[in-house]
Structure formats: structure tokens, C-alpha cells
Amino acid sequence: MTVPPSGRVVIAGTGIAGATAAETLRKRGFDGEVVLLGADPAPPYRRPMVSKELLAAAFPAEKALLRPPAAWPELRIDLRTGTRIEALDPSASRVALAGGTALGYDALLLATGGRPRSLGVPIPGAVTLRDRHDATALRDVLARPGIEVLVVGGGLIGTEVAASARAGGAAVTILEAGPRILDRVFPQPVSAALEQLHRAHGVAVQTGTAVTEADEISGRTRLRSADGREWIADVVVVAVGMTPDDELARAAGLRVDDGIVVDEFCATSAPGIYAAGDVARFPDPVHGGSVRVEHWNHAQSHGAAAAAAIVGERSPYREVPWCWTAQYGRTVQAAGRPTAGAELILDGDPAGDAFLALALTGDRLVGAVAAGRPRDLRAARTLIGSGAGLPRHLLDGSIDLVALAV
């Protein structure tokens, strides 16, 4: 479906997928109405900063904005923050907004992202971290002297919060139910090195620890694990992942399967409706099947692809996802699926300033992790996307992926 030049495109979600889609529509020459709706009261901002820079006391929130507020009307993008879609009617090509207003569309993009996953155990006063408001509220708590913090969950968000809190002087403990922190993101040698980095900075890391009980004691929060151990802290941050915000699509009868199912052009099962970013499940061009990716860079490129499809520039989405984390001044990047390979080849020490880890299945590169080697990481994305085999003799000794990708 191609939207008429004078038509209206409604975008649900002001995260990076929705904001990029709105900008891309203008870059691709679309001259009709672009309405960008978001429940978040803030203008579009860089959400990776929520667990990093925005927790620092001296960091101004304005620096996280994607664009100055005046830029959106200059682009003729009707940005409506603090606006939630209550219902979707695909047959009438219309959305119902909170307060009873209806808004028709020629194309609709669902870029609603996700919400923090529930731990399943009620925790008094628990904090989750999803938006800028969450970050600034937590920052105010962390600014108190002598604060003690429990972080439940040792994934990317949990470990970044722990690093930020520790850098601010808080006493921090990570409680991770799995055998190691970051085990769904990085292969074992890399996650082990990052765990050691946390310990070296004074963070207590407890793995294999599932929280089963919680209560309040003297104004603080107490957590207990299945084996009877307990911890008491001033604040508990729960960071155990996210669930896609796909209820709107589900209620409207769109195909949903742990996310809104789309094709390689970001189109859903309903004509004129697209989805992109964290909420979308799309065909995996590298590994087959379908996948849902929760990384900033994927959401950005997926939003751009959706906008291109809306204006009729149909090109199958084939981006290899990549992400990064910054902890204690150290940046680690990953591409593809670095935990999916049957074999891991290391070039350098994951605990050092520079290394490269390659995940392979047979002679095919499926994932890579690197620190201090950005050019190799970019080359790895190219090689993963091409599906080209890597001859074993080229992987002996020091590895130059840039040369291999030429």
C-alpha cells in the first residue's frame, strides 16, 4: 500500500523508531500530514541515556533530546506528547485517543516499544527504569548520601544502572537469577570479564539468586531468595527485561506473537498498518525464522525502513542488529547473535582494553563482540549479513575482519 501524497500518516510511539519514521517520511518527500503520538510527556529523546547519563547528577536532561522542541513543527510533524491511543479500528482506518477524540489515517505505524517486565514478586517501592521520568526520579534517590541499592536483574539495563549508581557513590548489589550476568547478551568470557569489572569497582554480584519474597522493614526494602538469604536496601531497581506493548494490536485483531508480527517490509496482517522497533517481530534474514530485537540501533533503522515502505519504496529489511554498553568508562559493542554460535574465537583478552570475540556456526559468522576495535565490529556486521564463510586459516592469530569484509 502506498499512501497518497496528501494523505495522513499516524505514528504511535515517540521513541527512536517512531521519531525516525516521522523524519524519514519528510526526507523521502512525503508532503502530507505526519502525526506523531506518544504517551510519554517528553519530546523524543535518546532512551539509552536512561540507564547511563541521565542517572548522573550533573547531566542536563535537555542533552538527551533527539532534536530541539522547535524542530518538530519546522519539519511539519504534528508531535503530540502525553497522548495515548485507546483503541484501533483497522476496518475504519481510525484510532481512538484518550478523551474520546478519533483520528483517521491513510497509514498507521505502531512503534509502541515495550514496558518493564514484572518480576512476579510484589516488591514495596520497587523502581523500574523505562523513561526519562523514571531516570530523573531514581537520580534524586541516588543523590542521597550513604544510599544502598539492590538491582534485581543482571542484563544490560541492570548492569548499567549498577555501574551508574556505583559511580555516584552508592553501595550496590546485583541479584541475578541466571548463572552469570549478561548471559543473554554476551558469550561467557565477555560476561565474566564484565562481572569482574563490577566486582573490582565494589559491586556485590550474586548470581543464581532468584528473589522469592519481599517486604518493608523500617522504611527500607528486604528481599529474600529461595535459599533463605536476605538483603536490605534503601531502593530496589527491578530490571528483568521488557515485554512488547502489543495490546493495542492484539485487541484490534492483528497477528501477534510476543510482538506484532510484520513482514520484511514492516507490514502487519492488517492493510495500511505497519510496526517497527522493539514491538515488532520480523523475518530474520540471517538465521531464518522470526525475531524481535530490543536495541536502539535496530529500532532506528527499522523505523526508517517502515517509513520507506509507507511511501512505496519497498526494500526488504536486512539489517544486522548491533548494540553497545558503556560501564565504568569502558564500551563494549556486539553484533548479530554472539551467544548463538557453536564456537567462540577470541582475539585478545576480554578483560583488556581491546579484544574481538567471534561466534561461529561451522565456518559462518553469526555474532561478534568487541571493545576498542570498532572497525572490526562494523566489518563483522557486513560479514554476518552476507552469510559468507570464513576460511579457518584466516582466523589463526591476529584477526583482521576489515580485510576479510572487502
Pairing label, strands 33-38, 8-12 = parallel
| pTM (two decimals) | 0.94
C-alpha span between 68 and 44 (Å, rounded): 9
> Which of 43, 63, 221, 49 is closest to 130 using CA atoms?
49
- Residue ranges, comma separated, of all CATH 3.30.390.30 domains in the chain are 329-405
CB contact at 8 A, 235 and 129:
no
Distances (CA, A) of 137 to 54, 222, 256: 10, 21, 33
Distances (CA, A) of 65 to 70, 123, 392: 12, 32, 45
Beta strands in 218-341 (DSSP E): 220-225, 230-233, 235-238, 242-244, 260-261, 273-275, 280-283, 290-291, 322-327, 330-336
User: Residue 352: its pLDDT value, please?
Assistant: 92
Give 10-residue mean pLDDT values along the chain (406 residues): 87 97 97 96 91 81 91 97 96 94 97 93 92 89 93 96 94 96 95 97 97 94 94 96 96 97 98 98 90 95 98 93 94 93 89 93 91 94 86 71 74
Backbone angles phi, psi at 315, to 5 degrees: -135, 125
User: Residue 394: its pLDDT value, please?
Assistant: 67
In the numeric block, which cell numbers belong to residue 81?
Answer: 506528547
- Which residues face 371 on adjacent strands? 355
C-alpha span between 36 and 163 (Å, rounded): 34
User: Residue 44: its pLDDT value, please?
Assistant: 95
C-alpha span between 9 and 105 (Å, rounded): 6
Backbone angle region of 31, left / alpha / beta, with phi > 0 → left and psi within -120 to 50 → alpha: alpha
C-alpha span between 302 and 25 (Å, rounded): 13
User: Residue 1: its pLDDT value, please?
Assistant: 59
User: Residue 248: its pLDDT value, please?
Assistant: 96
Backbone angles phi, psi at 221, to 5 degrees: -110, 135
Alpha helices by DSSP H, 92-155: 132-142
Q: What class is the 118-238 domain?
A: alpha beta
Domain topology for 8-115+242-310: FAD/NAD(P)-binding domain (3.50.50)
Distances (CA, A) of 118 to 25, 45, 127, 213, 301: 35, 24, 11, 14, 28
CB contact at 8 A, 363 and 343:
no
SS3 at position 205: strand
Q: Using the 8-state DSSP alphabet, how is residue 55 labeled?
A: G
Domain topology for 329-405: Enolase-like; domain 1 (3.30.390)
- Residue ranges, comma separated, of all CATH 3.50.50.60 domains in the chain are 8-115+242-310, 118-238
User: Residue 53: its pLDDT value, please?
Assistant: 86
C-alpha span between 131 and 138 (Å, rounded): 11
Task: For CA atoms 393, 320, 164, 202, give the dihedral sign.
Answer: negative
Give 32-48 as a DSSP string.
Answer: SEEEEEESSSSPSB-GG
CA 328-332-333 angle, to 5 degrees, is 150
User: Residue 5: its pLDDT value, please?
Assistant: 85
Torsion of CA 86, 89, 92, 96, to 10 degrees: 0
User: Residue 397: its pLDDT value, please?
Assistant: 65
* Terminal CA-CA length for the chain: 37
